[in-house]
Amino acid sequence: MDERTDTIMYGTKEVCDMVGVSARQLEYWVLIGVVHPIMEPHGSKIFKKFREEDVRILKEVKSLTDEGVLVSRAAQKVRMKVQG
């Protein structure tokens, strides 16, 4: 069975609402590699789909940035926590 069908996936708007960031901010965080969503092509458009783990990471990064930590440093801290 495909791993994607077993996992709950969220679209950009849902993730923005859950994390409390704008679509532009989320797009920037994806661009700098905070998370790596699955890209799903539909015709000429490509939609980003986020896993629950992506949402958890984004929430942690958001919490740290709210405390004044730079997003790049916050992402690094969260990645080290997840890996180690």
For the whole model, what pTM was predicted? 0.85
Say which residues have a Cβ less than 8 Å from residue 79's Cβ, sequence separation at least 6: 57
Give the Cα separation of 44 and 42 in Å (integer): 6
Give the Cα separation of 22 and 32 in Å (integer): 16
Give the Cα separation of 41 and 78 in Å (integer): 29
Q: Write the pLDDT tens digit of every residue in 19-76.
A: 999 999 999 999 999 999 999 999 999 999 999 999 999 999 999 999 999 998 998 8
Locate 19 and state its tokens. Answer: 């994390």
Q: Which domains does the chain have, with CATH numbers?
A: 3-83 (1.10.1660.10)
- Closest-CA residue to 29 (of 69, 72, 83): 72
